[in-house]
């Protein structure tokens, strides 16, 4: 079973959750061979409906004491650019896509993502842009 884990940490990032849970995104994720998507939605107001079919499962939750288990299970981590979430995924050696929240004014997150990208650790994008390789 191949799993994608999406985390927004303790914040809310409705654009990311809405984008990744949209029907065309789910279709794309499944076409890439993943059959499970776990969304950690934090304080968000976008709350996708969990579902399970023969070929795909969507799980949704707000918070857990630790994300270690979900990061450990994941074959791919998609994360907001919070330092804690990024470092936790990288420590576990997981492929990481960081999505920058363009609505945050102090975009230190972009600086962190750019630096870690330059060092070859991750890819990053925004909800409205394509992936930076």
* Bridge partners, residue 52, by sequence: 57
Domain assignment of residue 130, yes or no? no
Say if 56 falls within a structural domain: yes
Structural domain boundaries enclosing 55 = 3-125
Residue 100 pLDDT greater than 80, yes or no: yes
Average pLDDT of span 97-105: 84
> What is the domain count for the chain?
1
Residue 133's pLDDT band (boundaries 50, 70, 90)? Answer: very low
Model confidence at 60: pLDDT above 80: yes
Residue 114 lies inside a defined structural domain of this protein: yes
Going by pLDDT thresholds of 50, 70 and 90, the confidence category of residue 105 is: low
Indicate which CATH number applies to the domain containing 14: 3.40.50.2000
Strands (E) in the chain, as ranges, are 3-7, 36-40, 51-52, 57-61, 76-80, 96-100, 123-126
Q: What is the mean pLDDT of residues 34-47?
A: 97
Global pTM value? 0.92
For the chain, give the mean pLDDT: 91
Establish if 132 belongs to a structural domain: no
């Amino acid at each position: 079973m191949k799993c994608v884990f999406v985390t927004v940490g303790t914040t809310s990032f409705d654009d990311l959750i809405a984008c990744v849970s949209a029907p065309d995104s789910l279709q794309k994720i499944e076409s890439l061979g993943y059959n499970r998507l776990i969304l950690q939605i934090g304080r968000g107001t976008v709350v996708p409906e969990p579902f399970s079919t023969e070929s795909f499962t969507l799980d949704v939750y707000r918070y857990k004491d630790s994300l270690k288990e979900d990061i450990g299970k994941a074959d791919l981590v998609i994360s907001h650019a919070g330092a804690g979430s990024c470092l936790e995924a990288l420590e576990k050696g997981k492929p990481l896509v960081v999505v920058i929240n363009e609505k945050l004014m102090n975009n230190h997150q972009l600086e962190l993502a750019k630096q870690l990208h330059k060092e070859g650790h991750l890819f990053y994008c925004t909800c409205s842009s394509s992936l930076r390789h």
